[in-house]
Amino acid sequence: MNGLMTAIVSMAEDLSLQSVLEQLAQSAAELLNSRYAAIGVLGPDDTLTHFITVGIDEDQKRLMGDVPTGHGVLGQLIREPKPLRLHDLHEHPLSVGFPENHPPMTTFLGVPIRVREAVFGNLYLTEKAGGEDYTAEDEELAAALAAAAGVAIQNARLYEDSRRRQRWLEAGMEASTSLIVEDSPSPDADLDLVAEHALRASDAVLAVVAAPDGESMEVYTAVGALAVVAGQEVLCPPSLREADVERRPLVLRNPEEVFGPGSGEKLGHVLAIPIGHGTSGDRLLLLARQAGGSQFTQADLESGAAFGSHVGLALDLNIAHRQREEALISVDRDRIAQDLHDLVIQRLFAAGLGIQNLRRFATDPAAEARITKLTEELDESIRELRNTIYSLRAKQTDREGLSRSLFDTVHECLRSTGIIPKITVEGRLEDLPSPLARQVLAVVTETVSNAARHSGATSITVALTALPDAVEVLVEDDGKGFASPARASGLANIQRRARSLDGTSSVDSIPGTGTRVSWRVPLTAR
């Protein structure tokens, strides 16, 4: 009885669950004079997820290989949670033997460990000193120790849950404060910060922020162990799609459902948390623990959901703040552009007309040439000012971001030609996914560059149209045209891009009448 009381007191001294279990196994071995003791912890599917041993050193554990999962005699205690005493383990009908390098064991005592009404796991004892069988008194002592352990385990669980909830709460507050107070350079940096805080709060080894899109997800940011990078696509199983629609957290037991074959060697369970339901969009935070590590608990699901809600609100506020700043900048740019148009261009135009009138007074050919040169310089200045006005009036949104890129791309291709292009943009460009937008710019670059280098054109028209179900690019020039080009690598690249996106591409050209290139792909292309 004194030994039992000492064991109970020693278990109550520590609030760490792992320490409580280790102390329980050690106390049981000493109290019942056993060479070996073990505790098997049950998982949700009634298999042993953890196996803590006393009496077997680390080298021997490695030689034995995988820990038991609950077969044979150990499974009997799982199926029928009541004390079990055996004279010889090998003689039991359910015995499946021992793995290679396992130490010999004969006598056996097993009792269930209950936490309130639920079976937490089992306490196993073998090899009582002197080869004696375990007695009814031993069984009573083990059962009393297991009952006391249930209380200690419950306290340790409550303590760990409270600490886990505190870590999640602190991480959510720190992340939200950093997002709102600090001036982060971009939305991507915001997501990096969210992933880093969640990684620390959850004891995970990988944190990924991704956006579901059908059967796959596009990764926005990734922090941690596995080789996952921004822009990569990972899987989105049906259970995860359903959780995304309902905006609720979910635990996936098999990481290969998301990260593909082989990921289970490094990763364990995956916790998916919605972190956006407004301006920031529908995104999921995926947290994976190490393979063989602890499982996510109900406290993780509840606290993770609160974390996702807090940081989602902070992300929405950040986006609103950036949009407000961009709107103020846009107002200033519009004012500056209007002043340039109304004052500077008009004065330059008037000065040009005045210089043109000087021609009637100039009789010297050198003076007339000088007047022509000044007129051309003024015209060039007016063109550059108009380009500046156009750029100032382009708002800094996703749609105008693509418009701005298109404008810059075309003018860069035509910088040394003197050609002034005509550019038109129609439709909701913000609906274009980033990969498709990059393909569009690549096609425009290829087509305009070809026209600038080979056609001899004096005018080029570029039209970009985003239809409800497709995006179209049309580039026309008034150059010399061709019947069959000497080199077709550029046109072949354009056609190959269209085919890779299930689209079409055509080139219409007649010598002496110019060239028309049409490129169209469906908006379902990725």
Per-residue pLDDT tens digits for 15-52 = 677 777 888 888 888 888 889 888 887 766 666 767 78
Compute how many other C-beta atoms are within 10 angstroms of the C-beta atom of residue 329.
Answer: 13
Residue type, 25: A
| DSSP β-bridge partners for residue 24 | none
The DSSP annotation for 87-113 comes to S-GGGSTT-----TTPPP---EEEEEE
What's residue 396's pLDDT? 40
Whether the CB-CB separation of 374 and 382 falls below 8 Å is answered with no
What's residue 271's pLDDT? 92
**How is residue 231 written in tokens?**
């822009």
Q: What domains are defined for the chain? A: 2-160 (3.30.450.40), 162-320 (3.30.450.40), 398-526 (3.30.565.10)
Burial code (b: 16+ CB inside 10 Å, e: under 16) for 93-119 equals eebeeeeeeeeebebbbbbbbbbeeee
The whole-model pTM stands at 0.53
Compute how many other C-beta atoms are within 10 angstroms of the C-beta atom of residue 505.
Answer: 21
Burial code (b: 16+ CB inside 10 Å, e: under 16) for 254-287 equals ebbbbbeeebeebbbbbbbbbbbeeebebbbbbb
Per-residue pLDDT tens digits for 143-174 = 888 888 777 777 777 888 888 888 899 988 88
For the ranges 214-218, 285-289, 401-405, the lowest mean pLDDT is seen at 401-405
**How is residue 307 written in tokens?**
């974390």
Q: What angle do CA 397, 400, 402 make, to 5 degrees?
A: 110
> pLDDT confidence of 398, banded at 50, 70, 90?
very low
Percent over 90 (pLDDT), the chain: 7
What's residue 368's pLDDT? 79
pLDDT at 439 over 60: yes
| DSSP β-bridge partners for residue 195 | none
What is the DSSP pairing of strand 422-427 with strand 460-466?
Answer: parallel
What's residue 10's pLDDT? 65
Compute how many other C-beta atoms are within 10 angstroms of the C-beta atom of residue 292.
Answer: 10
What's residue 400's pLDDT? 47
* Average pLDDT taken over every residue of the chain: 79
Compute how many other C-beta atoms are within 10 angstroms of the C-beta atom of residue 315.
Answer: 26
Compute how many other C-beta atoms are within 10 angstroms of the C-beta atom of residue 410.
Answer: 24
What's residue 520's pLDDT? 93
Per-residue pLDDT tens digits for 464-521 = 998 888 899 999 998 888 776 655 556 777 888 888 888 999 988 888 888 999 999 9
Whether the CB-CB separation of 28 and 124 falls below 8 Å is answered with no
List C-alpha distances in Å: 404 to 97, 312, 320, 396, 429: 72, 29, 22, 9, 12
| DSSP β-bridge partners for residue 235 | 216
Per-residue pLDDT tens digits for 353-374 = 777 777 777 777 888 788 888 8
> pLDDT confidence of 390, banded at 50, 70, 90?
low
